Structure 1
Amino acid sequence: MTQHRGRGGDLTVHRIGLVVPSSNVTVETELPQLLERHPTARFSFHSTRMRMHTVSPEELRAMNAQRERCVDEIGDAGVDAVLYACLVALMAQGHVDGEGEHERTERAVAEQLAARGLAPQVTSSAGALLHALRAAGADRVALVMPYLRPVAELVVAYLEAEGVTVTDWRALEVADNAEVGCIPGDRVLGAARALDLSDAAALVISACVQMPSLPLVQQAEDEFGLLVLSAATAGAFTLLDRLGLPVDLPGAGRLLIRDAPVGV
């Protein structure tokens, strides 16, 4: 991993590359807000965009087709880690011969960068959610999603195929991705309160990096008494894990305080 000096040369800065839908604004807000809480590490964020406005299978496939250009662009920034930041774009593509689209995409991104002599850590929002759930031992989850019901059903099916039981879920039925970024927190929390959480080990309060939820994670965890995470907190967890950094980001649920000092 390449480490980059910050201003004055006194801080190590880890460069995070984000491959995002063009209409997404939330991941570039919530991920920096999370990682700036880290007690020792520092980060910079560098984005490239794939055109997408409506969350439909057709537009998601067209968006994924832009991946190679975006990966080349983000490679030029010399990043230490890459997050392919659209969960549904990959989960909607399903599995082929038992392998999920997140695995195929992460491998393709890593191979494309390796051909240029680059070796950043590579993950995706879809892969990060699965990684975080497995790390937490949470194999029974409830979900809140912004998607139209047919798209939400693809996400549920994907998680089930990965061995995660979805005990209950709500879809807010918002197709316009720009509007997803404006869904108010009380609507998200209201959907979470409508879920049957009695058999869930965890609540994914936003299975989408575009639906704002960061202020809700700790509040929901305190209210419901079970592990709460979002696509954003799972992404932060996985990036820290892959970079070999302590997972210690306060105020965003217990997933992100795994390595906090005792007594903190």
Structure 2
Amino acid sequence: METEVPAMLQAHSVVRPNDRFTFHSSRMRMKKVVKEELAAMDAESDRCALELSDARVDVLGYACLVAIMAMGHGYHRVSQQRLTERTVSNGATAPVITSAGALVEALKVMKAKKIALVAPYMIPLTELVKDYIAAEGFEVVDWRALEIPDNLDVGRHDPAKLPAIVAGMNYADADVIVLSACVQMPSLPAVAQVEAMTGKPVLTASIATTYAILKELGLDPVVPGAGALLSGAFPYDKA
């Protein structure tokens, strides 16, 4: 889970040499990607926010999309507010973004209405993700659940398999292809290939999270090789 977001921040530093980052993490326990374990994991997020705020970080990222989306529609707003309050209570106020909220906001930035979606989860969890996104106003025209139950196996999934998975999907009407609705499932190496293959902009949970982090820090949302959202085509109003 701590791979692609730091990699993109480091790649950002190559094109913006004055922007330097340190990366801090506090982990919540989870082995099987099932609703019960996700709920137990989310309950640990308050502890993590306190631990990370001890380091006086500038922004916190809750980097598990499905843990948020499995808690009910709109939960990313509840989580972000509650965890920000934890940092305030520690005298180390820091904004909190979630990968779930970041994905939703990124789709709005890209003016997407219809999306195609790939997720590593079992079908019931993937349906929760699909319904959560639909409740935010987007139509999921096609989706694939890779049905990987073990959390470690999600992180080991070969991103080279993703283009063939997308090739078998009905993405013609999609405005954006969400290549990985999971920060942990590797996808970055396949983003440019899928964009070239489909002619569609490609977004992932990790790309959306990186965009949200850069925006929260007031930095240019530019990362080479990280798809349309981080190409420089979607600047935000710094005012």
Tell me the TM-score normalized by structure 2. 0.93
Residue 121 of structure 1, CA deviation? 2.3
2-structure distance, mates of 1:192, 1:260: 24
2-structure distance, mates of 1:184, 1:36: 22
Q: Give the conservation status (yes or no) of the 8 Å contact 1:203–1:226.
A: yes
The answer for the alignment partner of 1:81 in structure 2 is 59
Q: What's the RMSD between the two structures over aligned residues?
A: 1.4
Q: Secondary structure at the match of 1:211?
A: coil
* Residue 190 (1) aligns with residue 168 (2): no
Opposite residue 78 of structure 1, the aligned amino acid is R
The answer for the alignment partner of 1:229 in structure 2 is 203
The answer for the alignment partner of 1:147 in structure 2 is 121
1-structure distance, mates of 2:7, 2:48: 24
1-structure distance, mates of 2:114, 2:20: 34
Alignment counterpart, residue 207 of structure 1, candidates 181, 190, 209 = 181
Q: Give the conservation status (yes or no) of the 8 Å contact 1:246–1:259.
A: no
1-structure distance, mates of 2:139, 2:197: 22
Opposite residue 71 of structure 1, the aligned amino acid is A
Opposite residue 73 of structure 1, the aligned amino acid is E
Alignment counterpart, residue 60 of structure 1, candidates 38, 47, 68 = 38
2-structure distance, mates of 1:142, 1:68: 33
Change (3 A) 1:189 1:30: same
Residue 260 of structure 1, CA deviation? 9.0
Residue 247 of structure 1, CA deviation? 1.1
The answer for the alignment partner of 2:215 in structure 1 is 241
Change (3 A) 1:260 1:126: closer
Q: Secondary structure at the match of 2:23?
A: strand
The answer for the alignment partner of 2:230 in structure 1 is 256
Opposite residue 117 of structure 1, the aligned amino acid is G
Write out the 4+ residue segments of structure 1 that deviate beyond 4 Å after TM superposition.
none
Residue 259 of structure 1, CA deviation? 5.8
Residue 254 of structure 1, CA deviation? 1.6
Q: Give the conservation status (yes or no) of the 8 Å contact 1:80–1:120.
A: yes
Q: Give the conservation status (yes or no) of the 8 Å contact 2:160–2:189.
A: no
2-structure distance, mates of 1:236, 1:144: 19
Q: Give the conservation status (yes or no) of the 8 Å contact 2:163–2:193.
A: no
Residue 179 of structure 1, CA deviation? 0.5
Larger mean CA deviation between 169-178 and 113-122 belongs to 113-122
Tell me the TM-score normalized by structure 1. 0.85
2-structure distance, mates of 1:114, 1:218: 40
2-structure distance, mates of 1:93, 1:31: 24
2-structure distance, mates of 1:63, 1:140: 31
Give the count of matched residue pairs. Answer: 231
2-structure distance, mates of 1:135, 1:52: 31
Q: Give the conservation status (yes or no) of the 8 Å contact 1:121–1:243.
A: no
Alignment counterpart, residue 176 of structure 1, candidates 137, 142, 150 = 150
Alignment counterpart, residue 163 of structure 1, candidates 120, 137, 150 = 137
Q: Note the alpha carbon deviations across 1:154-199, whole angstroms, 9 max, x for none.
A: 0000000010111100000111010111111233222211111111
Residue 33 of structure 1, CA deviation? 1.1
Which structure features the higher share of strand residues?
1
Which structure features the higher share of helix residues?
2
Q: Give the conservation status (yes or no) of the 8 Å contact 1:139–1:164.
A: yes
Structure 2 stretches of 5 or more lacking a match?
Answer: none
Residue 52 of structure 1, CA deviation? 0.2
